[in-house]
Amino acid sequence: MSLLLPQLKGIPAPRPSLRSKVYWEGCRQHRLLYQRCAECGYRGLSAFTVCAECHATSPVWDASAGRGSLYSWTVVWHPPNPSFRVPYAPAVVRLDEGVWMMSAVIGCEPDALHEGMRLAVEFHPASDEITLPYFAPAIEGQP
């Protein structure tokens, strides 16, 4: 048994930047926010000030329903530093709103990970200031 679990406080925590602080404040409130270009609807890989498609300068923040599918993953057994407990599964999740985001899958065994696996967001603290969004197997029928 090697259930994938969220990390504990003490890992190197993200330091929010000017353009990402809205995202991290959303996480603290257990709301998963993403940016969308108000003109053309483009979603980026990270917080942006200029749309990469139409170059409009008016992105807006939307709340995701927190559901998505597993796009890619790895299971780490030897971490970059000793503060991470293994195994853990960094993953790229494709949100149903069409956003690719970096996260990690928790709440299942590594062998259960598969392409297109349905996932739902869960929030866990990484430090006193930072809350990280993780994804766990979605339970059928639950919103």
Binding site residues, another protein, CB under 8 A: 7, 11-17, 20, 24, 45-46, 52-53, 71-82, 84, 88, 90-92, 100-104, 110, 115, 126, 130, 132
Burial (CB count <10 Å: 0-12, 13-18, 19+), residue 13: middle
- CA 22 to the chain's CA centroid: 15
Q: How far is the CB of 47 from another protein (least distance, A)?
A: 9
CB nearer another protein, residue 101 or residue 140: 101
**Closest Cα to residue 83, out of 126, 123, 125, 135?**
126
CB nearer another protein, residue 43 or residue 67: 43
Sign of CA dihedral 13, 6, 134, 30: negative
SS3 label, residue 121: strand
Q: How far is the CB of 143 from another protein (least distance, A)?
A: 25
Q: How far is the CB of 1 from another protein (least distance, A)?
A: 17
Q: How far is the CB of 141 from another protein (least distance, A)?
A: 27
Report yes or no: 105 and 120 within 8 Å, Cβ to Cβ. Answer: no
CB nearer another protein, residue 10 or residue 63: 10
CB nearer another protein, residue 74 or residue 138: 74
Side-chain-facing half-sphere of 91: CA atoms under 13 Å: 32
